[in-house]
Structures are given as structure tokens and as C-alpha cells.
Amino acid sequence: MPESVKILVPQGAEYKAVCRGLSRISTPTPTVFAIPVGSEALIKYLHKWIDTEEIRNQTPSQILVMGLCGSLSPHYKAGDIVLYENCIYQDRAGTSLHEKCNSNFTAQLHERLGEKASSVKALTSDSVIWSATQKQQLAQKSTADVVDMEGFTTLSFFNQTNTAVAMLRVISDDCNHNIPDLSNIISPSGKIQPLPLAIAMLRQPIAATRLIQGSLKGLKILEKVTKKLFTPPL
């Protein structure tokens, strides 16, 4: 992978996991940027980011989005590595919008990872999808395999600039179980708020335990796959 790749990762634990993976590599590595969670905060961030001095002086030719995602399909479980083919967003009128990832860049990543990564279709949601019932309904309605909160927005933004975008994520929760209702934990600026998060976890302890276990597993895999992806071949 060339150093000119810029990596975008949701801020917090996901960003730290990717940084840990890169810190274990002795050769130069790409720059990692922590992005806000959720579409509204993210689009504001991207407009400012693309106009920063660092980016203006060297417009990235490739953007790699990394992080965790949720499964909408029984075929994918916590710890599975997925590479997006495309992203779907359903607006309030029920219209489905589609954005494709760059096929050549995605194929390069697939070649590095081999059978460890699965190709999937993704759905971007404006809110955390926490109930198994809602996940299964979304899967039927959209035919997507996984769900996140940033994919479509990122693709829509960079596809207008002719920048090659690929998305690699690790699944943190399956489609058969609830996680805590995290609807109100994200601030308008796209940050996870610790107190509302703690309250949500305490209200649903069994679901919270499941989420913690899945997230820790996903973060470990994310760290490992980052190291594998950017370690030069022997």
C-alpha cells in the first residue's frame, strides 16, 4: 500500500486500534485521521478537512475508510473482516441511493488479505441500529449485509472528487441479538458521550456484555488487519 493513502477512522476506540496496528510497523505508514460518528457531523468535517493546508498541498489519490460495523446477515459474525462493494442510503422518502467503492483499490486490498475478507454490500444509517428485529427488517428491505453510520456519506463526498475510496471494516455485532439502545449517545459534533453511553449499558446489562465482547474482538482484529495490510511483503 502506498504512503499516499489517507486513512479515515471513526474517532475513539476504532481510531486507537488502527493507530496501534500501524505503530507495530517499522516502515513509513499512511496518515490516519479521526472522523466524527454519523453523517451530519461527518459531512461538515470533510468539507473542512479537504480544505486544510496538508490536504490542499497533496490531494489524496486514495482514501481508505476503516473501523467497525454491524452485521445484517446471518452469514457474518463478530470478528469477520469485510470489504465494501458499495453503500446504500435510504432517505426519509424511502428512496434508495447508491454509491460504489473503487473496484481497483478494493481489489488491491482483497489481494493483500486473501480469503480473510468478504465482499459485502453496506447500508449507512442515521442512527445506531440496536435491535435484532430492526436489523432483519433492514436486511430484507435493502439487501445489505452490514450497517454503519459513515460509509455512504464518505463515498458520496469523495466520488465527486475522483478520489478512489475503499472501505474495510470488522464486524462487532451480529444480526441475531440486541445491543443496548445507543440512540442518544452521539453528540451533534459526532462524539460518543460517556455518561449517556454508561446509562444505556447499565439499562441493558446482557446486551451490553454482548456488545463489549463483540467490540473488543472486532477491535483486536482491526488492529491485526491494519498491521497486515501495511506491512511490506518480504
Position 86 scores a pLDDT of: 97
Least confident segment among 48-57, 69-78, 93-102, 210-219 = 48-57
In this structure, are residues 20 and 14 in contact, taking their beta carbons and an 8 Å threshold?
no
- pLDDT of 65 higher than 70: yes
Rounded distance between C-alpha atoms, residue 68 and residue 24, angstroms: 20
- The pLDDT tens digits of the residues spanning 3-61 come to 579 999 999 999 999 999 999 999 899 999 999 999 999 999 999 998 886 777 777 78
Number of H helices, E strands in the chain: 8, 8
CA distances to 44, 87, 153, 165 from 98, in Å: 21, 6, 11, 14
- pLDDT of 165 higher than 70: yes
- pLDDT bucket at 212, cuts 50 / 70 / 90: very high
How much of the chain, in percent, has pLDDT values that exceed 90? 81
Placement of cell 435493502 in the chain: 142
Sequence-ordered alpha helix ranges (H) in the chain:
13-23, 39-49, 53-57, 103-113, 132-142, 151-159, 194-203, 205-230
| Per-domain boundaries in the chain | 6-230
- pLDDT bucket at 181, cuts 50 / 70 / 90: very high
Terminal alpha carbon distance of the chain:
14
Position 51 scores a pLDDT of: 87
- pLDDT of 82 higher than 60: yes
- pLDDT of 164 higher than 90: yes
Position 1 scores a pLDDT of: 62
Provide mean pLDDT across the span 153-165. Answer: 93
Q: What are phi and psi of 43, to 5 degrees?
A: -65, -35
Q: Three-state DSSP class for 26?
A: coil
- pLDDT of 187 higher than 60: yes
- CATH architecture group of domain 6-230: 3-Layer(aba) Sandwich (3.40)
Position 213 scores a pLDDT of: 97
In this structure, are residues 115 and 148 in contact, taking their beta carbons and an 8 Å threshold?
no
Cell digits of residue 28: 513509513
Provide mean pLDDT across the span 81-88. Answer: 97
Position 53 scores a pLDDT of: 67
State the chain's mean pLDDT as an integer.
Answer: 92
Characterize 48-69 residue by residue with b for buried, 16 or more Cβ atoms within 10 angstroms of its Cβ, and e for exposed: ebeeeeeeeeeebebbbbbbbb
Candidates 10, 8, 4; CA nearest to 215 is 10
Position 199 scores a pLDDT of: 93
Predicted TM-score (pTM) of the model is 0.94
- pLDDT bucket at 92, cuts 50 / 70 / 90: low
Rounded distance between C-alpha atoms, residue 182 and residue 198, angstroms: 10
- pLDDT bucket at 77, cuts 50 / 70 / 90: very high
- pLDDT of 2 higher than 60: no
Cell digits of residue 208: 451490553
